[in-house]
Amino acid sequence: MENTQDWYQSWFDTPHYSLLYRKHDDEEAGKLMEALVKKLDPPKDAFILDLPCGEGRHAVQIHKLGFQVQGMDLSKTLIDRAKLKETEGLSFKVHDMRRAIPKETFDLVLNLYTSFGYFKTETEDLKMLNSIHAGLKKGGTMVLDFLNMNKVLPNLVEFEVRIINGIRYDIRRKLENNFLFKRITVSEKIKSFNYFERIRILGQIEFADLFKKSGFKLKEILGSYELDTFNPGESDRMIFILKKE
């Protein structure tokens, strides 16, 4: 097995990451935020946490809907970019999501685009969930968005090539030790770079156990960014709506 320890600390900071995933734009983020606000109907004075927030796409869009928003991310590079978008009621800071956040502060916490299962142990995943649970006000909501492994694994594309702005991305995927492992080789002129992604393979049963251990009550599972009802065999996503009671 290749060394992917803390892969997220290097990959997300690179321009190659931003280019590969550029299809996720502000318009897409805005539509999802509008749909979630309509679905969840948070109070007008809600304080919302986007964790991790990346460059702040979702934080910016939900702030535009009238909410006070804090974005947090481990990557200083991404937070520096996000800080250029700061305004009254919208702020960003560097933060490791395994560490404690201010207690009973937030009405809603967003964890979007498969930003869970990065870590090597369940203990670390639970640290994150416990921190968010403690940081939510009583009656607060967490939205956790993850791949639907029931659909992903039987249809896994083991190898593909993408050419973006003249840069070649060779992407290899495999299953290893209960993780979905992705190796990304970037070829740019005469240089090449190797990056990795590693996501824990988690299904409904595993998530139910994590939610129970961290004190969350599962209210609903949605199956897409259009917020359709979840279908275990067909949905692309598992979007969990969780409550702190």
pLDDT tens per residue across span 12-57: 778 887 788 776 678 889 999 999 999 999 999 999 999 999 999 9
Distance CA(150)–CA(234), nearest Å, equals 8
pLDDT tens per residue across span 186-238: 998 888 989 988 999 999 999 999 999 999 999 999 999 999 999 999 999 99
pLDDT tens per residue across span 125-142: 999 999 999 999 999 999
* pLDDT class of 153 with cuts at 50, 70, 90: very high
pLDDT tens per residue across span 70-123: 999 998 989 999 999 999 999 999 999 999 999 999 999 999 999 999 888 899
Does residue 3 fall inside a structural domain?
no
Q: Clarify whether residues 172 and 123 are in a common domain.
A: no
Phi–psi pair at 80, nearest 5 degrees = -60, -40
Distance CA(113)–CA(147), nearest Å, equals 8
Tell me which residue range forms the domain holding 175. Answer: 152-197
What is the pLDDT at residue 7?
A: 74
What is the pLDDT at residue 24?
A: 62
Q: Clarify whether residues 214 and 109 are in a common domain.
A: yes
Count the domains in the chain: 2
Does residue 187 fall inside a structural domain?
yes
Q: Clarify whether residues 25 and 87 are in a common domain.
A: yes
Here the CATH number for the domain that contains residue 97 is: 3.40.50.150
pLDDT tens per residue across span 54-68: 999 999 999 999 999
Distance CA(245)–CA(236), nearest Å, equals 29
Q: Clarify whether residues 86 and 177 are in a common domain.
A: no
What is the pLDDT at residue 3?
A: 45
Mean of pLDDT values over 145-149? 97
Q: Clarify whether residues 123 and 185 are in a common domain.
A: no
Q: Clarify whether residues 51 and 160 are in a common domain.
A: no
What is the pLDDT at residue 23?
A: 66
Q: Is the pLDDT of residue 154 over 60?
A: yes
